[in-house]
Amino acid sequence: MDPVYLDHAATTPCDPRVVEALRPYFYEAFGNTLSPHAFGRRSRKAVEDAREILASFLGAQPTEIVFTSSATESNNHVILGVARALKSEGRHLVVSAIEHHCVLEPARRLMQEGCEATFVSPDKDGIISPTAIEQALRPDTILIAVAHANNEIGTIQPIADIGRIARKRGIYFLVDAAQTIGHIPVSVTGIPCDLLSFSAHKFYGPQGVGALYMRKGIDCPPLLLGGDHERGSRAGTLNVPGIVGLGEAVRLCGPLMSDEMAAQTALRDRIINAVLKEVPGTTLNGHRTLRLPNNAHFSFEGVLGEDLVAALDMAGIAVSVGSACTSGQLTPSHVLKAIGLSDAQALGALRISVGRWTTAKEVDYFLEQLKLKIKQLRG
């Protein structure tokens, strides 16, 4: 059997159509977008075309899109920038306790510098209650940060309800949409957010490029200084091939999304149903239905997740215990601890995420090997 890739939540393969679209911008149209000559103009047009595609996809204005290197950069930009811009109005942030570390770490950095943060815990299914968010707000709250869907357990959050609370109180709202763009509908008109971040490599685009939606009028100074790129919002020569690839990945996602959601949900449910039925001592983590179409996440009694990942890797199957950014750490996931799992349950976790080209045959092979490897590891 060919290698089976079931770790699409960590990164996706670049769609061949995306590769073809970005290829010329490495060696033919390689100009700097700020250069006034023909090479620069061609690159600049390609970037602006991608910006138009992305803005239309999100329901935003092109001037509200800032290209970055990743969702990590975008989130750092927002959290550190908003705190600097609004320090005279308040020094308090409200953050979901199960955010990616690229949100948690800058928030903690600000706490070392005199800010305060309230980390709102989820329920046992990983859902952040809008009521809990509202109760955490203070007169000096300047920012709320909640991811659209959790990157480990796949639970989709009631973002629209939280956004309405933020909008009513006049508080900036940051949504990390790294796991949802291209996988489920995302619109800044449907989600009343002020800032939204994502990375191209999560939806079949190239690695090393992302974007930030910044609603017109938001006060958030640049994180990177030293140039006039992105209308002064971010210094640094633009990754033109990456941006072209991001635009093409977005363009492809639109017409494919409905069919892909249905196909991946069917594979996801096939995995969940089979594992819960056929593997004793298994717990499903995250909400049973309010979860990403491609995400299944379990805890297995008597098994270490890292050992199971290694055993499946030997069988040619790629899965993970959770976020790739914390892979290799021997401490329990903060997400799994936050939803009430014990250390043993958290360390016995496994995340399976299917993708655009995952087949039923691959899922069957995975299920067969999973049962075998768990039996072997349990001795």
- Would you please indicate which residues are annotated as catalytic (active-site) residues? 325
Q: Provide the token pair at 119.
A: 């980390």
Evaluate whether 313 touches 350 at the Cβ level (below 8 Å).
no
CA distances from 3 to 322, 363, 372 (A): 20, 12, 17
d(CA 74, CA 77): 5
Q: Provide the token pair at 375.
A: 């039996």
d(CA 276, CA 207): 34
Measured CA angle at 208 (ends 33, 103), to 5 deg? 115
Say whether 377 sits in a helix, a strand or coil: helix
Sheet with 92-96: list strands edge to edge.
65-68, 210-214, 195-199, 172-176, 141-145, 92-96, 116-120
d(CA 71, CA 246): 13
> Of all helices (H) and strands (E), which one includes residue 24?
helix 24-27
Exposed/middle/buried for 97, CB within 10 Å: 0-12, 13-18, 19+? middle
Residues sharing a CB contact under 8 Å with residue 238, sequence separation 6 or more, in sequence order: 33, 43, 47, 67, 229, 230
Q: Which one-letter DSSP state was computed for residue 326?
A: G
d(CA 247, CA 208): 14
Evaluate whether 254 touches 54 at the Cβ level (below 8 Å).
no
Say whether 129 sits in a helix, a strand or coil: coil
d(CA 142, CA 195): 13
